[in-house]
Structure 1
Amino acid sequence: MRQERIETQLNMLPALPGVYLFKDIQDTVIYVGKAVNLTNRVRSYFNPPSSDADQATSFKLQRMVPLIHDIDFIITDTEQKALILENTLIKKYNPKYNVRLKDGKTYPYLKIDVQNDWPTVRVTRSYIEDGSRYFGPFASASLLRKTIKTIKRIFPFRSCHKTLLTGKPSVPCLQYHMHRCLGPCSGNVTVEEYADVIKQVILFLEGKQEIVLRELKGKMKAASQNLHYEKAALYRDQIEAVENIIEGQKNAAVVKGEQDVIAFAQNNDIAYFEIFFIRNNKITGRDFIVLDGVKDEDEGKVMTAFIKLYYSSSPAIPPNILLQYPIDEPDIITKWLSKLRESYVTISVPHRGAKKQLMDMVVENARQGFELYQLKKSMSLETMDTLTNLRELLSLKDMPTRIEGYDISTIQGTYSVGSMVVFRNGVPTPQEYRRFKIKTVQGLDDFSMLQEVVRRRFEKYLTHDKKWNTPPELILIDGGKGQLHAVREVLEDLNINAIPVIGLAKEREEVFVPGNSKPLSIPQTSKALHLLERVRDEAHRFAIGYHRSLRHRGTTLSKLDEVPGIGPKRKKALLKALGSVSNIREASIDDLAKVEGMNEKLARTIKESL
């Protein structure tokens, strides 16, 4: 039945250029391709391999072809139009067997809406032909934010979202007073003057820093001659910032002209691409893009897929592109890129000289970048394995992505404190730590102290306090069965029964769970146990630190705290003048009265109290 349907559809294919789509039995698009001749190209998938090269390629086909349940196609006027349509459909359907952007992610751009009177510089993930200038795509939003931070430090363009109305000035913000914005909202700058700043930003992003530098020097000279010294000083600071950036780029001037240099490293189904941007004889930037779905594809096909994916959404195409490997169909792709750029584009693979040296550098960057990328991925995978293992050991309903650890620190019931630490995805998050000064428990009673801490934490959670409204998937108590039972009592009293609680006893690193008098059998080498130990030890460290801080403060200042009329300012003045509580005790009334803020009456009070 399937074979007959496929054969019928093959017979209907025209011998024309176009795009074909393979669909599975669920009508899901699993592959998109283009062809000069749809009949010949699509039929080739169902023919046996005729050479060793075809056999190597067929490993991927062996998995895909049996899944093809339906064939669709779209005819185009030329192969170049087919190439454009193929890119569009791959982005639309994200087919399983196409080389594609990793995770189907959309990369961010820097957008300058030059069609407006007061353009802004923004981050966007949509590339629309709306008259704006776009720069990118960037590998990450953080990389793009660093770029914006750099240009904002040099050029005073606006970063606000205000709607600016002509003839209706408003009070300028702090950015204006810090000379980081010309203040178009206040009417202090003309449209032409502001447009000149935006022009410099664009030149800078295009790598034409020398032109920017020349213009700024001219403006500084003119401002100085007109006795506008404050404006001249601002230009001077801009010039210095641009010169520092140019100085940092000088070592990159190994190849002349404007070009992108592209290399990649590959492992199994992932290809990591490194792109160096050369503008005006300098490396003005670099980026990386990750593709997946490249298993069983040769280097040329992977490089070809990247060029089509990357430049189909790139607003800036240089006149020259250097590649690590030759691409398939170079004539068609060159014509396509030239049409996008509206001038001729060359694509080449360097084999010798300065261009080859530059390519070797990019190849090495790709190799090292891929190693770092894989390391980061493996670390996150290792953490996920540990959390999964912990979930299984404790029979938890949810993955313990947030673990809260609690501990108590006290000496004979004095300066008693409690601590709460938070681990997210196996990593401590100190900004979420909390500490508690014990208020309701007198004497040495660890159980009651733990109960107070846990009660205070979860009562705030129940009131939807923003600082406390994220519940953990696991609560870890430093202690054994007794401490565990005490905490369970509080949670049951608060009607919080869904959050698992465990105790970790120090002596034998034993894990206790409610309803079981014996500890769980967990190997000492278990990574899950090691994670629990890290949480427990961090809670202990945080509690000890707070306890020591209070104890130190108490032993040095507690006596003065008890003296009527002695507040923080007088206390500070006394300690500054006499050095210690002991010296204050030994000082005469006259010496105490001479201290700033003191008088004879207070001096006598101190002598009587100490």
Structure 2
Amino acid sequence: MADPSTYRPAPGEIPVEPGVYRFRDEHGRVIYVGKAKSLRPRLSSYFQDVSALHPRTQTMVTTAASVEWTVVATEVEALQLEYSWIKEYDPRFNVKYRDDKSYPYLAVTMGEEFPRVQVMRGAKRKGTRYFGPYAHAWAIRETVDLLLRVFPVRTCSSGVFRRAGQVGRPCLLGYIGKCSAPCVGRVTPEEHQALAEDFCDFMAGNTGRFVRRLEREMREASSELEFERAARLRDDIGALNRALEKSAVVLADATDADVFALAEDELEAAVQVFHVRGGRIRGQRGWVVEKVEDVGTDDLVEHLLQQVYGESPEAVPREVLVPALPRDSHEVAAWLEGLRGARVDLRVPQRGDKRALLETVERNAGQALNLHKTRRGGDLTTRSVALKELQDALDLPEAPLRIECYDVSNLQGTEVVASMVVFEDGLPRKSEYRRFAVRGTEGQDDTAWMNEVITRRFRRYLDERAEASDVEIAQGIDPETGRPQKFAYPPQLVVVDGGPPQVAAAARALSDLGIEEVSLVGLAKRLEEVWLPGDDHPVVLPRSSEGLYLLQRVRDEAHRFAITYHRQRRSRSMTTSALDSIPGLGPTRRTALLKHFGSLKKLKAADVEAVGQVAGIGPATAQAVVDALSAPSGAVPAVNLSTGEVLDD
């Protein structure tokens, strides 16, 4: 790893103008591209104390061996140059949005003499108009099949088109009226071009005039007693209406907009975009991105817009609705306007139909992220690879088929709880999850709490094993219930959330209990480093490693489970606080009251007689409870529990 001070530019060398900069590694490869309103403060921020930088930024500056920059005239130019360099160099530390699948488009080759309608994927071509993307190719073909009744545009390949012209006979679509047969001269190139333009106008959202025209022609044919032609026009109107029904109306004002939303965690982000044209959803698209740099939602949005519209400048709509504005929103909007050649409204919708649509897209993004994680974690081959990678990287005697992870949660040293989650064969085993209310004294820290939790868990394991008097109990089965005992099974691998201090505390607990067959590691959040007991240096797994991904899932699940329990404890603590100030009402009777009534709200609605029916609550105490809970907030009266008399202040 390079020391950033070895390639740090002198402060006076860095200009203060806007510009774009590149970090290169020792082999000269560009590993990061960024832009700045002023290059000097931005670049100087990378060369502060390395320990003060974000972990991913630390990795970037220590991987780099040099930095260079280019000054530009405006911030919009910086945005354009940054996108060009990211596309050219594909830097490893920049966010890259990659499609989670290949999306098909409906394409019309307007650049040809006889335009063709077809389904296309991949890179965009000049002279071709695109509509979509669509979720499925069959959805495009269904729509095209309906529209060819009204707009009989050519759909055949160049080879079929040439052969039909040579033999002087059109294909089947020409005979059934779903192609105007320009191959045999039934229409002129100009007439066929006009048909293709009408098709594109309809797909772009200008649908009303075509339906109105057909209705007018149908009435005229009916009035002239041309009933067969009127019936044909009626069927054409029905085909157009069925095509319109396939795309839902979401905005009544015929808005053209792209609506973006993100769902993210510490490691990845899922992006969804709905393409709305003419008030209707014309397409949907999704990406999953791995966060390889320190970025917030605003930065993710900026990079997203760069990559989406940089590749397809003709696709920029009138409105771009996003969950958060980019940090340099005015410059990004100016860049989009330059691509579109007209005004672009870049904003966050606050209310109304557009806000509701954004929330719908956000739900889709959340589901996409969950689905991505589930698919990756649920694949049998992937799980097998992950377990094998962990066995090799951690030098384990066998693959860790059972992994237990522990996390501690507290609020400034109060309400300390811990969680234990279990993954078997790479999947969560929620029936084996356990939670702990830590009994440590005030002033202790994470290491002492971790030591206590590991000690309690494995002491129970040793006790249950020692009590085993027959084969069934020795196998971890409770003879009375027939269910597995709580702590009967030892894991092959214990994971603690933390670095060397937490690992050392857990190792001491296992050593004190004489347990040697269980392997132990810690996963530190900063650089996702894996720490082994007694090692001075961590095991660094590649970010693409399935083994690291499994450890991250286990750690995140333990954190979630601990936080959930901690919130429950805090909520319960706040609930009982209304009873704490009643003189003579101790913890046991408070618990009995809440257990009997189920909630503080129901207890407040109870009268003296109902409260007095609780075991251990006498008439004087019941009266004191009712008086205290019926008093105004902050005015809990003092009560003589022997007489029930309310004492004066």
Measure the CA separation in 1 of the matches of 2:336 and 2:206: 23
Selected match of 2:122 from 110, 122, 125: 125
Letter of the 1:29 counterpart: V
Question: Aligned letter for 1:322?
Answer: L
Counterpart secondary structure, 2:8: helix
Structure-1 residue corresponding to 2:302: 304
TM-score scaled to structure 1, two decimals?
A: 0.55
2:290 is matched with which residue?
292
What do the CA deviations read for 1:68-100 (whole angstroms, capped 9, x no partner)? 112233333322122112112212222111111
Match of 2:273 among 252, 264, 275: 275
Q: What is aligned with 1:112?
A: 108
Q: Is the 8 A contact 2:270 2:369 kept in 1?
A: yes
Equivalent residues in 2 for 1:203-242, closer than 5 Å:
203-218=201-216, 235-242=233-240
Q: Provide the residue aligned with 1:176 in structure 2.
A: 174
Between the aligned partners of 1:26 and 1:275, the Cα distance in structure 2 is 38
Superposition pairs of residues 391-406 of structure 1, within 5 angstroms = none
Q: Is the 8 A contact 2:271 2:288 kept in 1?
A: yes
Equivalences for 1:142-181 in 2 at 5 Å? Answer: 143-144=136-137, 146-155=139-148, 156-162=152-158, 170-181=168-179
The match for 2:318 is 319
Instruction: Using the TM superposition, name which of 80-89 and 236-245 deviates more.
Output: 236-245
Distance 1:47 1:3, change over 3 A: closer
Could you say which residue in structure 2 is the equivalent of 1:15?
A: 16
Deviations 1:284-323 (A, max 9, x none): 3322233233664221111221122112223222212222
The answer on whether the counterparts of 1:260 and 1:320 sit within 8 Å (CA) in structure 2 is yes
**What displacement does 1:209 show?**
2.6
User: How many angstroms does 1:330 deviate by?
Assistant: 0.7
Q: Secondary structure at the match of 1:312?
A: helix
Counterpart contact for 1:90–1:100, Cα < 8 Å: no
Assess, with a 3 A threshold, how the Cα gap between structure 1 residues 371 and 254 changes in structure 2: closer, same or farther. Answer: farther
Aligned length: 383
State the Cα distance separating 1:26 from its structure 2 match. 2.4
Task: Give the 3 Å change call, closer, same or farther, for CA 98–222 of structure 1 in structure 2.
Answer: farther
1:92 to 85, 88, 92: 88
User: By how many angstroms is 1:202 displaced?
Assistant: 1.2
Q: Give the superposition deviation at 1:47.
A: 2.4
Q: Distance in 2 between matches of 1:106 and 1:72?
A: 36
- Distance in 1, Cα, partners of 2:155 & 2:382: 39
Letter of the 1:143 counterpart: H
- Once structures 1 and 2 are overlaid, which stretch shifts more, 361-370 or 217-226? 217-226
Distance 1:244 1:189 in 2: 27
Kept in 2, the 8 Å contact 1:268–1:294? The answer is no
Letter in 2 for 1:300: D
Q: Secondary structure at the match of 2:196?
A: helix
Supply the distance in 2 between the matched residues of 1:100 and 1:179 (Cα, whole angstroms).
Answer: 46
Q: Partners in 1 of 2:108 and 2:167 — Cα distance?
A: 23
Offset, 1:61: 0.9
Measured at CA, do residues 175 and 388 of structure 1 come closer, stay the same or move farther in structure 2, by a change above 3 Å? farther
Work out the CA distance in 2 between the residues paired with 1:247 and 1:132.
Answer: 26
Alpha-carbon distance in 2 for matches of 1:222, 1:13: 75
Q: CA deviation at 1:332?
A: 0.3
Deviation at 1:390, TM superposition (A): 11
Which amino acid is 2:140 matched to? T
Q: Could you tell me how far 1:167 is from its partner in structure 2?
A: 8.4
Q: What letter corresponds to residue 279 of structure 2 in structure 1? A: N
Contact 2:22 2:68 in 1 (8 A): yes
Aligned counterparts of 1:29 and 1:335: Cα–Cα separation in 2: 27
Q: 1:7 to 1:374 in 2, by over 3 A?
A: closer
Match of 1:62 in 2: 58
Aligned residue in 2 for 1:328: 327
Q: CA deviation at 1:372?
A: 2.7
Unaligned runs of 5+ in 2: 390-649
Over residues 201-249 of structure 1, what are the superposed CA-to-partner deviations in whole Å (9 max), with x where a residue is unaligned? 2123322332332344455567778998777655443321221243455
For 2:124, the aligned partner's letter is Y
1:359 aligns with 358
CA contact (8 A) 1:60 1:295 kept: yes
Task: Output one character per residue of 1:156-187: Cα deviation in whole Å (capped at 9) or x when no partner.
Answer: 32222226679867321122233332221121
Secondary structure at the aligned position of 1:69 is classed as strand
Aligned to 1:25: 26
Shift in Å at residue 256 of structure 1?
5.3
The whole-number CA distance in structure 2 between the counterparts of 1:102 and 1:11 is 39
Residue 101 of structure 1, CA deviation: 1.6
Could you say which residue in structure 2 is the equivalent of 1:71?
Answer: 67
- Whether the 8 Å contact between 1:96 and 1:293 is mirrored in structure 2 is no
**Letter matched to residue 144 of structure 2:** I
Matched, 1:45 2:42: no
CA distance in structure 1 between the partners assigned to 2:386 and 2:295 by the alignment: 34
Amino acid at match of 1:279: R
Query: What is the SS of the residue equivalent to 1:91?
Result: helix
Rounded Cα–Cα distance in structure 1 between residues aligned with 2:217 and 2:375 = 47
- How big is the shift at 1:103? 7.2
- Asked whether the 8 Å contact 2:104–2:136 carries over to 1, the reply is no
SS in 2 for 1:252: coil
Distance 1:2 1:362 in 2: 44
C-alpha contact (below 8 Å) 1:334/1:347 kept by paired residues:
yes
Judge conservation of contact 1:254–1:358 (CA < 8 Å) in 2: no
Distance of 2:123 and 2:320 partners within structure 1: 24
Deviation at 1:3, TM superposition (A): 5.0
Match of 1:134 among 117, 130, 139: 130
- Are positions 1:378 and 2:388 aligned together? no
Native 8 Å contact 2:5 2:47 kept in 1: no
What is the CA–CA distance in structure 2 between the aligned matches of 1:8 and 1:388, rounded to whole Å? Answer: 42
Q: Which moved more, 1:262-271 or 1:226-235?
A: 226-235
Q: Give the match for residue 336 of structure 2.
A: 337
Contact kept in structure 2, 1:135 and 1:316, CA below 8 Å: no
| Residue identity opposite 1:263 in structure 2 | A
Q: Is the 8 A contact 2:270 2:286 kept in 1?
A: yes
Deviations 1:122-157 (A, max 9, x none): 4142235x3332335x3x7x6355324422432232
Question: Contact 2:57/2:293 (CA < 8 Å) preserved in 1?
Answer: no
Unaligned runs of 5+ in 1: 392-610
Q: Map Cα deviations across residues 440-493 of structure 1 (whole Å, 9 max, x no partner).
A: xxxxxxxxxxxxxxxxxxxxxxxxxxxxxxxxxxxxxxxxxxxxxxxxxxxxxx
Measure, in 1, the Cα distance between the counterparts of 2:206 and 2:77.
33
RMSD: 3.7
User: What SS class does the counterpart of residue 175 from structure 1 fall into?
Assistant: helix
CA-to-partner distance for each residue in 1:32-59, whole Å, 9 max, x for gaps? 111233333222211249xxxx96x723
SS of equivalent to 1:100: coil
Q: Indicate if the aligned counterparts of 2:21 and 2:70 stay in contact, CA closer than 8 A.
A: yes
- Give CA deviations for 1:361-412 in whole Å, capped at 9, x if unaligned: 22122222332333333333x3333589899xxxxxxxxxxxxxxxxxxxxx
2:192 equivalent to 1:194? yes
Deviation, 1:337, is 0.9
Range with bigger deviation, 65-74 or 212-221: 212-221
2:4/2:62 contact within 8 Å kept: no
* 1:527-559 superposed Cα distances (whole Å, 9 cap, x missing partner): xxxxxxxxxxxxxxxxxxxxxxxxxxxxxxxxx
**TM-score relative to the length of structure 2:** 0.52
